Structure 1
């Protein structure tokens, strides 16, 4: 199989690229390299282009034809909640515009399989402690809105021209499958704390007064290597005729608060982590935990690593690359 991975030089994408390579697939990476690094993807072909620009269509058409692409895994997108609140038009242009360009190119080339990188941000601030895929999808920030629209677009393409798509709603992704593929973007909690520790600074926590047991946000943390395995399972699922669902939560099914994560970081690093607790950040729901029964029963996927594994692998990669 030949698989094109958009955003494949980034943190999550590079893990999927490596797993695909390990099982003998041909991989083409499309990435603007704004956050990704070409060195992450080994001998994969790299096409440097921003999917939201006019240059994307001819670049994709050439890649599809040259490499006989059978399927696409789509990661390329902007992903910071706070930035999306401050720059909503930019997020719609990048995330929805990039998705539109990709789907048009796939339709033209006859590439009919897509695994889409969606997000738990599509749920917004759910009332239930654990969220199911068939529950309300009411995003409360532009980032989540663009991801939900991406799901709609993939589903509409299925109706219009037969696209087979799987939308994976990620919960909080962290850790490293290999030391050279650690999260270097410093956009998520664990690398943000590591950066503060390296600088001798106090890490910042946004919100200590949420309606949760310790006042901090609760999130479902999934190891990036487990998440990468979910993409391969979804890709394989698209080749089957029985596909009762097109949307899947990818998480551990258990929640950890920000303060609990900081405690694990203290234990793993041996460094005291006393945070500076500030006001809540716009667009953050108090709690997001996945119901993972659908992906387990349909794709046969489940997590293999816990929060200690996540923090331990993230710290090992961080020390290797700093």
Structure 2
């Protein structure tokens, strides 16, 4: 297929582009940076400018939509900006696509809020607790209703915590723990470090996107969680020390009020329906990949 990838210059976008190229698709990368891999067409557009998206999407069969603003804390300060880009940009993209296109929309597990029951299945009611998550939930709705109208086919992937690969995001716990072990800023641990989150390697995310793209049919919409390995902050610290052979310097801080003790993805549907299996998402593998690439 001729596939447009939005957010192609990002951490996840680069992995998705490489995976689609390896699968034989003709990829058009919509990215801020000029550099794209050999054999990949480059496109420029702004999600807030529908006309530029019409030009970028001309002749494509499908899109993997990754581009978004994704800062939870910033979203409280700039909620309208998150809605403008994440919701308005998605609506612009959907309207710019040729009729009959396939859409893989990469959303977030934060749309669930803090369910009492774990792991979280896809039919769990959404309860976003911040403007970022709320904007992604609204964008999900736009994708779903457009698919049900028969204009496109779509799959929504609710991604939990991507890790591994060339991750430079200093807000992620694995990245911060590895940097601390390498002599950087000590890792701040809130509370006792027992909070559990779900991690998945970025290349396993890319595989999920490729599988979803191949299965998506016009007029249909489906939703899948993408996660793999549940681990606490203490587990991450222990893994970094085990893999690197270095101590992780810590700074202790009081627990954040309202922090959710556990967020784990139920990925049985992804495995059953798409045949997806994580290959690089064991905790030590995630840490090792981050450590090697950092060096």
TM-score bracket, normalised by the shorter chain, equals over 0.9
Match of 1:58 in 2: 51
Q: 1:286 to 1:143 in 2, by over 3 A?
A: farther
Match of 2:178 in 1: 194
Give the distance between the partners of 1:3 and 1:102, measured in 2 at CA.
13
Give the distance between the partners of 1:23 and 1:159, measured in 2 at CA.
28
Q: 1:156 to 1:200 in 2, by over 3 A?
A: closer
The question of 1:251 aligning with 2:227 is answered yes
Give the distance between the partners of 2:56 and 2:85, measured in 1 at CA.
20
SS where residue 122 of structure 1 aligns? helix
The one of 119, 123, 135 aligned to 1:134: 123
The one of 216, 226, 243 aligned to 2:204: 226
Match of 1:14 in 2: 14
TM-score (norm 1): 0.85
Residue 280 of structure 1, CA deviation: 4.5
Residue 61 of structure 1, CA deviation: 1.5
Residue 194 of structure 1, CA deviation: 3.3
Listed as ranges, the gaps of 5+ residues in structure 2 are: none
Match of 1:148 in 2: 137
Residue 236 of structure 1, CA deviation: 0.6
Give the distance between the partners of 2:266 and 2:241, measured in 1 at CA.
29
Give the distance between the partners of 1:280 and 1:58, measured in 2 at CA.
47
Residue 28 of structure 1, CA deviation: 0.6
The question of 1:290 aligning with 2:286 is answered no
Contact 2:195 2:262 (C-alpha < 8 Å) held by counterparts: yes
The one of 34, 41, 44 aligned to 1:45: 41
Q: 1:129 to 1:156 in 2, by over 3 A?
A: same
Match of 2:114 in 1: 125
| Cα offsets for 1:214-241 (capped at 9, x unmatched) | 5532111111111110001100111489
Q: 1:41 to 1:80 in 2, by over 3 A?
A: farther
Contact 2:163 2:174 (C-alpha < 8 Å) held by counterparts: yes
Q: 1:215 to 1:193 in 2, by over 3 A?
A: closer
Give the distance between the partners of 1:215 and 1:261, measured in 2 at CA.
9
Q: What pairs up with 1:157-306 in 2 under 5 angstroms?
A: 157-176=146-165, 182-198=166-182, 200-205=184-189, 207-208=190-191, 215-239=193-217, 246-252=222-228, 254-280=229-255, 284-305=259-280, 306=282
Contact 1:20 1:232 (C-alpha < 8 Å) held by counterparts: yes
| Cα offsets for 1:25-66 (capped at 9, x unmatched) | 1111112x2xxx4435333222233312x3xx222222222x
CA RMSD between the two structures: 2.1
TM-score (norm 2): 0.92
Give the distance between the partners of 1:111 and 1:121, measured in 2 at CA.
30
Residue 125 of structure 1, CA deviation: 0.7
Match of 1:313 in 2: 289
Residue 198 of structure 1, CA deviation: 4.3
The one of 69, 84, 93 aligned to 2:84: 93
Q: What pairs up with 1:104-115 in 2 under 5 angstroms?
A: 104-106=95-97, 109-115=98-104
Residue 162 of structure 1, CA deviation: 2.7
Give the distance between the partners of 2:161 and 2:39, measured in 1 at CA.
29
Listed as ranges, the gaps of 5+ residues in structure 1 are: 177-181, 209-213
Q: 1:83 to 1:280 in 2, by over 3 A?
A: farther
Q: 1:277 to 1:283 in 2, by over 3 A?
A: same
